[in-house]
Amino acid sequence: MTRAFLSLGSNLGDRQQFLSEAVGSLGSSVKAVSPVYETDPVGGPTQGLFLNLIVELDTSLSPRELLAVCHRLESGAERVRTERWGPRTLDVDIIWMDGVQMAEPDLEVPHPRWQERAFVLRPLADLAPELVDGDVLARSQGQVRTFGHLPGWEPASQ
Ligand code: GSY
């Protein structure tokens, strides 16, 4: 089994519902879900704010099999591919898999831009602080604000 982190983002329609359904579809491989952050769009045209989170998985899938799962989740979210970098109901990216380093034209792990994006690093730091350098996070692009927790993934009360 391999520890893997996916980044999920939505800035169209019922953003939280798209994230919830996607996390639910990942089933028992989900080990943890970060808080949800509302984030400024990074790149692309002028568009609405995103909700972003990171999911930690314990998976037996290969990177390519996991990529197919990401694409299935996106298709399941009424996603229509229109403008590149434009608004979307759901975007799912593989950010990190323990022990995996690969660079193929359609799949790079770790994600080629993960260290540039606050919407990835901030929630990743909540789940795996050892992967996130504080200075790199401070220099990363885009404002992020805490939005809340996905229903069913609230932190346990003390
Ligand atoms: O790469 C993921 C899609 N995406 C996002 C996103 O999820 N959040 C924010 N804040 N900006 C983004 N720009 C793109 S493209």
For the stretch 70-88, pLDDT in tens is 999 999 887 665 666 778 8
Domain 2-148, CATH: 3.30.70.560
Percent of the chain with pLDDT over 70: 95
Each domain of the chain, given as residue ranges in start order, spans 2-148
- Counting ligand 1 atoms within 8 A of each CB, the residue from 11, 54, 70, 121 with the most, and so the one to mutate, is 11
Length of the chain, please? 158
List the residue whose alpha carbon is closest to atom 3 of ligand 1. Answer: 91
pTM equals 0.95
**32, 114 contact by CB (below 8 A):** no
Each residue of 121-149: pLDDT tens digit?
999 999 999 999 999 999 999 999 999 99
Residue 33 near residue 153, CB atoms below 8 Å: yes
pLDDT at 158 over 60: no
Is the pLDDT score of 58 beyond 70?
yes
Q: Is 145 a catalytic residue?
A: no
